[in-house]
Amino acid sequence: MWDYSEKVMDHFMNPRNVGEIPDATVVADVGNITCGDALRLYLKIENERIKDAKFKTFGCASAIASSSMLTEMIKGKTISEASAVTDDDIASQLGGLPEAKMHCSVMGREALEKAISIYRGQAKPPLEEGKIICKCFGVTDNKIREMIRRHDLKTVEEVTHYTKAGGGCGKCKPEIEQILAEVRAEMAKQTTRLSGPMTNLQRIQKIMEVINREIRPSLRLDGGDVEVIDIDNKLVKVGFRGKCVGCHASSVTLRDVVEKRLKELVDPGIMVEEVH
């Protein structure tokens, strides 16, 4: 028996926003009903704001609860604000999920990312691209690598918890082990380079890496972008591009997306300033 939080049980027994939106602006499907959990997410978008969100989920209590919580979290948000929601945010709002069920919150985040990509008329999300490693659940190497980095995964079992890869026939486990070793080695090298006080050059390199890998892809899903204008010690000056220019939520994006991620992944003392 899984040790579910009260919130998980509440959203499982009384799921919010179940059903279809007949005139949905976009519908996104993730997962596969023939081999595991599946989620269909409906969004009604008006003036770049999510006016309504509904879902249909095939899966366990965690999958239903995660889908329910996701729709509650994104309703009323702008596309830009919603694109900043992570799988960790979903799990946190539910009071936590059993480790073996973390892939359910990941599925919610993937559905949202795919819906925004479809809405923007863009290519399929990066995590869906790449080589299929787990044929049982259709998991790509890109997704496995991203989850290892994002959640600091250390074992094949942990990779399975977050992606389901390796949870079927198990034939892909050697490849997962190899990917895990490669990514962990890359992460170790990065940690070694950044051990001790960072030099200005190291800080600049890390800031650029985080912006290009963690921040820009999220903004581009919304048709926007961000460019680094200058870096003065721990003050980062940026300029918004595309649909982020003049957006009424740009100050929120600056603080809760750009500055927050740089503080988390580079230095808690970093401040970000928009340059017009």
Q: What are phi and psi of 20, to 5 degrees?
A: -115, 160
Rounded to the nearest angstrom, the gap between the alpha carbon of residue 241 and the centroid of all alpha carbons in its chain is 21
Interatomic CA distance for residues 272 and 169, integer angstroms: 47
**Contact (Cβ atoms closer than 8 angstroms) between residue 106 and residue 19:** no
SS (H, E, C) 23-64: CCCEEEEEECCCCCCEEEEEEEEECCEEEEEEEEEECCHHHH
E strand or H helix at 224, and its extent?
Answer: strand 224-232
CA distance 137 to 172: 11
Catalytic machinery residues: 35, 104
Largest CA distance in the chain: 56
Distance of alpha carbon 156 from alpha carbon 148, whole angstroms: 10
For residue 157, how many other CB atoms are within 10 A of its CB? Answer: 14
